[in-house]
A and B are shown apart, each in its own frame.
Chain A
Amino acid sequence: MGAGMKKLINRPEDAVKEELKGVAAAHADRLKVHTGPNYIVRADAPVQGKVALVSGGGSGHEPMHGGFVGVGMLDAACPGEVFTCPTPDQILEATKAVDGGAGVLLIVKNYTGDVMNFDMAAELAQDEGIEVEQVVIDDDVAVKDSLYTAGRRGVGATVLAEKICGAAAEQRRPLPDVAGICRKVNANARSMGVALTSCTVPMAGRPTFELGAHEIELGVGIHGEPGRERRALAPVHEIVAALASAVLDDLPFSRGDEVLAFVNGMGGTPLMELYVVYNELHMLLEGRGIAITRNLIGSYITALDMAGCSLTLLRLDDELTALWDAPVNTTGLRWGV
């Protein structure tokens, strides 16, 4: 391990493997963990006649995605190496393991590698006669979406989409409907994050980027990618205002909207601070005439040990609200059961 890295990791190259062993040992009642290739499926998979939801991404963002496998959310998650997307063979095997004859929805975060690996997996699954749809999540307003970039990154809206689509699938809605709801969530959600410290990738053994003692990175990505602006640490209401206005202006959200407000910790920030952030956000939205009718506060899409948070706002309607409220039973999100 690199000098100065203090972690509960035996050997960096074993971290993902040992994490999966821990998940298997802890949650055998709800999950089945497959290794070589690595994927996590719900214990009762495949569920006949239900659209199956498969997602995946690099490890280091826990509880996303493995913590969202279970009744009312994902059927399978494919964990890659730390911050490295899963491979097509892995996604294909997970897809085959959960296909219950009603088709499979792949929920993909918009990163170049993720999109290509899921594309290949989808082609391979279709070759084997499985009906597959893909939805790419791209809610991060910090990144310019233009013809000249790989487009906006997928962040917090992924968690919301997985929950809401999981509920739709439990209602036995057909694949085109579930995929349509996923696109609707993505179209109505926007996010932006801030880092107070860098994260440290175990294999690298040193911080991904350097921030001064009194600096923050506005618009940071969940792998420590640079954001919009590096600035001095400011009072929480100023930081929240910067994040929230970027999010609000982008959709745009407007007076009278009802929203789900998701305050997400990046992995190294206490829940106490997330509630301080939520308080500021609540006051700011109230002032703008936007009603928070649902909320989620906690660390759900993390960047290893990075300190900081992200804000995600999702504009709700009756359909999305009802699907959000439906029961879910995963190790990361659980209610109504």
Chain B
Amino acid sequence: MGCVSEIVTQEGVIAWLRAFARAVAANREELTELDAAIGDADHGINMDRGMQAVLGKLAELPPSDAGSVGALLKLVGMTLVSTVGGAAGPLYGTLFLQMGSATGGAAELTVAQWAAALEAGVKGAQARGKAELADKTMIDALLPAAVALNAAATSGLSLADALRKAAAAAEQGMKATIPLVARKGRASYLGERSAGHQDPGATSSWLLLRAAAEALVPDASAERPGR
């Protein structure tokens, strides 16, 4: 603790959001294909539109919000809510809004504080969608990630290691959606026919957690080309 790379800052969050936007754009077709199998074939398109809008907002962040992690997360949440549409807009929007509320006005967060923020965000998304684990939704990737991040924080792992644990848990949760029968969302209308397909929402959530592991640690993100 105390070392710069152990602290989540607004700069780190911006790097995370940029990495997530890149990942969504790169996987736009794959997300849409997954959605076509069990939903309405627009998840990649909608998420890409939303994250492009977020990138636009990052360029015009009001000076009053400079440094505040919470203000940034809330701006992201409102932007996603108004641009993504469908079910993903309110779900991702609520995730970021609740994360933002949980951080208060802090400019720097410890691993434990960041884990608490993610937990609050996931709880918000869960309440919004009324989804439980194994309903074949984005919660299947997000909830294990939040649990893993909390455990890592408690056992004193570094921020980078904790984020990697969270991303691994999200990936495992995402893969676990394949055999599940959907109980929430449009896929639930398919009943048994939804089994055998990976959930598109869990997939974009894994991309979100993977992007955090890649970019949220300031030192790690500074080394990445293309920013």
A residues contacting B by CB (< 8 A) are: 37, 80-81, 83-90, 111-113, 116-117, 119-120, 143-144, 147-150, 204, 221, 223, 225-226
Count of inter-chain pairs, beta carbons less than 8 A: 76
- Is the CB–CB distance between B188 and A88 below 8 Å? no
B residues contacting A by CB (< 8 A) are: 40-42, 46, 78, 81-87, 89-91, 93-94, 128-129, 181, 183-186, 188-191
Interface of B is mostly: helix
Bound complex: CA of A14 vs CA of B189, how far in Å?
31
Given contacts A112-B184, A112-B185, A150-B185, contact A84 B42 (CB under 8 A): yes
- Is the CB–CB distance between B90 and A119 below 8 Å? yes
- Is the CB–CB distance between A226 and B190 below 8 Å? yes
- Is the CB–CB distance between A116 and B85 below 8 Å? no
- Is the CB–CB distance between B81 and A149 below 8 Å? no
Given contacts A87-B83, A204-B41, contact A117 B89 (CB under 8 A): yes
Bound complex: CA of A225 vs CA of B89, how far in Å?
21
Closest 3 A/B residue pairs (Cβ): A116-B90, A113-B87, A149-B188
- Is the CB–CB distance between A149 and B183 below 8 Å? yes
Given contacts A83-B40, A120-B93, contact A225 B186 (CB under 8 A): yes
- Is the CB–CB distance between B186 and A112 below 8 Å? yes
Which chain A residues border B185 with CB–CB below 8 Å?
112, 150
- Is the CB–CB distance between B186 and A111 below 8 Å? yes
Residue of chain B at shortest CB distance from A225: B189
Bound complex: CA of A143 vs CA of B184, how far in Å?
13
Given contacts A120-B81, A150-B184, A223-B40, contact A143 B89 (CB under 8 A): no
CB of B106 to closest CB in A, whole Å: 23
Residue of chain A at shortest CB distance from B86: A113
5 A–B contacts from the bound complex (CB under 8 Å)? A84-B85, A87-B89, A113-B87, A143-B189, A150-B184
Which chain B residues border A111 with CB–CB below 8 Å?
186
Which chain B residues border A37 with CB–CB below 8 Å?
82
Bound complex: CA of A148 vs CA of B85, how far in Å?
24
CB of A287 to closest CB in B, whole Å: 33
